[in-house]
Amino acid sequence: MIGCLFCKIVQKQIPANIVFEDKRVLAFEDVTPQAPVHILIIPKEHIPTVNDVTGEHRDIIMAMFEAAKVIAKEKNIAYQGYRLVLNTNSEAGQSVFHIHMHLLGGRHMAWPPG
């Protein structure tokens, strides 16, 4: 989508430290990391929020979780644990309206989140 920051990263118009890519999904380091491991996993297709996900996105959503598993293993945090977060709309703090799964790990995670 024109003007979407994450679509521009998918199209390689904006640089990112890419850690995983397949035909449906791209994953890259968050520019403002909140943990020793902080990766954003995004679909290549533009989907603004989780509220816009439908049954037609089944394969994409599955691919995002598969990517999370692979990356967590590669970063050696699969066993200790990690957190997957999808902020949706304003009260949750979504700032980029192209869905993205935050993969956070490498430190203890408090609950409830802030």
What is the edge-to-edge ordering of all strands in the sheet holding 101-105? 18-21, 25-29, 37-43, 101-105, 82-85
Decide if residue 7 touches ligand AMP (CB under 6 A). no
Residues annotated as part of the active site? 100
For residues 90 and 57, what is the distance between their CA atoms, to the nearest angstrom?
A: 23
Site string for ligand AMP, 74-103 (x = CB under 6 A): -------------x-----xxxx-------
Site string for ligand AMP, 19-58 (x = CB under 6 A): ---------x-xxx-------x------------------
For residues 97 and 83, what is the distance between their CA atoms, to the nearest angstrom?
A: 20
Nearer to ligand AMP, 36 or 93 (CB): 93
